[in-house]
Amino acid sequence: MQRRTPPAVLAAVLITAGLTACSSADKQLQDAQKKIDGLKATTHAIAEAWRNGDVSATYAGTAFQQTLQLLDKERASLNAAPKLLLDPRGASLSRDAEQLSRALAALIDDARNHDAASAQQHLTQVPAGDSP
Amino acid sequence: MSAIVDVILGIVTSIGGFIEVGSISTSAQAGAEYGFQLLWAIALATLMLAVMIEMSGRLAAVSRRSIDAAVRERFGISFQWVPLAAELGIDTLLFTAEIGGAAIAIKLVTGIGFLWWILPIGIVVWLVLAMAGFSIIEYGFGLLGLVTLCFVYAAWRLQPSTHDLARSLVPSLPAHDPVRYAFMCVSIVGATISPYLLNFYASGSLEEKLAEKELWVNRTTAYLGMCFGGIVSMGVLVTSAMVLGPRHITVDSYDQAALMLVPVFHRWAIGLFAASLGIGCLGAAVEIALNAGYAFSQAFGWPWGANKPRTDATRFSAAFTLVTIAGVIIGLIGFDPLRLTMISLALTVVIMPIVVLPFLALMNDSRYVKSHTSGPVGNAFLAALTVLGALLAIVVVPLEIFGG
């Protein structure tokens, strides 16, 4: 004889599953935010070191390139979860990442041309991170 | 007098040879993400390593056998297959990570993609193995590796709070991401205690003809050398914590890690980081491939020795050549070297009981170490930590890889 699951248990399971899904989405968004903020900070640190003459344009170029690759991975994982993009925080994060991506592309070009002054201008398109 | 020179040289080269791809990446990541909080993990892993290294030297000096040869003799070849396969599998992954690290070091300076450097580095490693004797391999890379002291200097110049440093030597729970924290602990242990080091050290003691009456040389070199070496790893962590941590830069690539030296060394920073990474990785790659030659030859009873003409030890040469080729091929596939390193290190901890527990059994067998058996407290401590580490790794590695 089959036993029926009591409605209260079913409701509790559904609520728990829903809360877990929400907290999992929250965690994913927090992680993505942290990663993107870390990449913004990296971009600033590389550009600052280049401006001060502490690192070469060669290093700056490859480091910007590497940062762009890491950002692409982050964007791909964000875009792979449409549910995250529906969340206003996710949508804002996606815009942020896209802006950073464009700035990095410009900075890579600046490093290739050894144009630190232009890099300074492009760096203004990279706002500081929001992570605590 | 000669023994004192041996001790000094042993300590100095242990310091220079301590840092490689695993210790740089784990310490840099741990510092950037958790500040000084994981210093205790480096201290504990270094202590475990020093104890195990001393034991492996003692086994070699007293029994005139390396670990792999003694395990085969004591437990039989049918048992030996398991630790041998586990060790060689991990060694190949670590070898790939090391040549990847050396390739990244050249990329940092030249800007040319790291994949282009994998094959030339593999050839250099093989040439060193084919042509150099044991002393040149050990002392050469060890002395060049002293460049890694730049991390200790940087940490000192940044003036960390001694109170905070001392407090971090006591284990504590993280304020965020506990799974990541556990994964970092496991990786730090894996980076510090690579199973290849044990057999490599025992084989090296045999190559250098360490005698039973020189056990004090072995003890002093193992404890002082490893402990000072651990300070270099701590230097990486502290520098990363003070430079990258406050800027919220997490270390997902070596380009990011290299930035940690900029505030102290300015225009020398990238060069020093690249030299530290490159020399450390190249030295470790040579040692890992050489140990593969040792392990195969000792397990099957073939002639072996870096001090022997290679024509007198052809199967030994074939074994290190095979691992070098396998590592280069895997490297050329183009895995992310940092990710490969972290996974290899965590897997190292998973297989550690398979390698360490038979070794501990040997250290209690008076047929091998005569009256120099290890005490029950030390054995229990090492066995418990090894098994605990493996269990922790089995839980956190899938969580970290597939998302916690």
In a domain, A50, yes or no: yes
Residue A65 half-sphere exposure toward CB, CA atoms < 13 A: 16
Q: Measured between CA atoms, how close is B160 to chain A, in angstroms? A: 21
Chain B residues with CB-CB distance to A66 below 8 A: 253, 255-256
Do A54 and B262 lie within an 8 Å CB cutoff? yes
In a domain, A13, yes or no: no
In a domain, A38, yes or no: yes
CA distance B198 to B203: 9
Do B269 and A58 lie within an 8 Å CB cutoff? no
pTM for the predicted model, two decimal places: 0.90
User: In this complex, how many residue pairs, one in chain A and one in chain B, have their CB atoms less than 8 Å apart?
Assistant: 65
CA distance A122 to A100: 10
CB neighbours of residue B239 within 10 Å: 29
Per-residue pLDDT of chain B (404 residues; tens, 9 = 90+): 577 888 888 888 888 788 889 999 999 999 999 999 999 999 999 999 999 999 999 999 999 999 999 999 999 988 989 889 998 999 999 999 999 999 999 999 999 999 999 999 999 999 999 999 988 898 899 999 999 999 999 999 999 999 999 999 999 999 888 989 998 998 898 889 888 899 999 999 999 898 898 899 999 999 999 999 999 999 999 999 999 999 999 999 999 999 999 999 999 999 999 999 999 999 999 999 999 999 999 988 899 998 888 888 999 999 999 999 999 999 999 888 888 888 888 888 888 888 889 999 999 999 999 999 988 887 888 888 888 888 888 887 787 777 64
In a domain, A102, yes or no: yes
Assess contact for B99 and B341: CB atoms under 8 A: no
Q: Measured between CA atoms, how close is B103 to chain A, in angstroms? A: 14
In a domain, A5, yes or no: no
**Closest partner CB to A53 (pick from B110, B247, B267):** B267
pLDDT at A22 > cutoff 80: no
Give the relative orientation of helices B115-131 and B77-110 as an angle to the nearest 10 degrees.
120
* pLDDT score of B404: 45
In a domain, A131, yes or no: no
In a domain, A22, yes or no: no
Q: Measured between CA atoms, how close is A40 to chain B, in angstroms? A: 8
Q: Measured between CA atoms, how close is A62 to chain B, in angstroms? A: 6
- Mutation target among B104, B114, B255 for the A interface, most CBs of A within 10 A: B255
* pLDDT score of A14: 53
Provide the 3-class DSSP secondary structure of residue B134: helix
Chain A residues with CB-CB distance to B264 below 8 A: none
Provide the 3-class DSSP secondary structure of residue B297: helix
**Closest partner CB to B267 (pick from A54, A62, A131):** A54
CB neighbours of residue B151 within 10 Å: 30
CA distance B393 to B190: 10
> What confidence category does residue A5 fall into, taking pLDDT thresholds of 50, 70 and 90?
low
Assess contact for B104 and B277: CB atoms under 8 A: yes
Assess contact for B187 and B342: CB atoms under 8 A: yes
Chain A residues with CB-CB distance to B252 below 8 A: 35, 38, 70
CA distance B90 to B195: 9
Residue A61 contacts B, CB cutoff 8 Å? yes
- Nearest-Cα residue of chain B relative to residue A112: B111
Do A45 and B108 lie within an 8 Å CB cutoff? no
* pLDDT score of B3: 79
Whole-number average pLDDT of chain A: 83
* pLDDT score of A27: 81
In a domain, A11, yes or no: no
- Nearest-Cα residue of chain B relative to residue A131: B248
> What confidence category does residue A132 fall into, taking pLDDT thresholds of 50, 70 and 90?
very low
Do B259 and A70 lie within an 8 Å CB cutoff? no
- Nearest-Cα residue of chain A relative to residue B404: A24
- Mutation target among B252, B336, B338 for the A interface, most CBs of A within 10 A: B252
**Closest partner CB to B248 (pick from A37, A52, A67):** A37
Q: What is the ipTM of this complex?
A: 0.86
* Domain around A104: 28-123
- Nearest-Cα residue of chain A relative to residue B109: A59
Chain B residues with CB-CB distance to A38 below 8 A: 248-250, 252
Assess contact for B274 and B264: CB atoms under 8 A: no
Query: Tens digit of pLDDT for each residue in A80-98?
Result: 888 888 888 888 889 999 9
Count of structural domains within chain A: 1
3-state SS, B24-76, equals HHHHHHHHHHHCCCCHHHHHHHHHHHHHHHHHHHHHHHHHCCCHHHHHHHHHC
**Closest partner CB to A45 (pick from B108, B111, B259):** B259
Do B270 and A55 lie within an 8 Å CB cutoff? yes
**Closest partner CB to B262 (pick from A38, A55, A66):** A55
- Mutation target among B176, B249, B254, B277 for the A interface, most CBs of A within 10 A: B249
Q: Which residues contact B277 (CB under 8 A, 6 or more apart)?
A: B21, B24, B101, B102, B104, B105, B108, B254
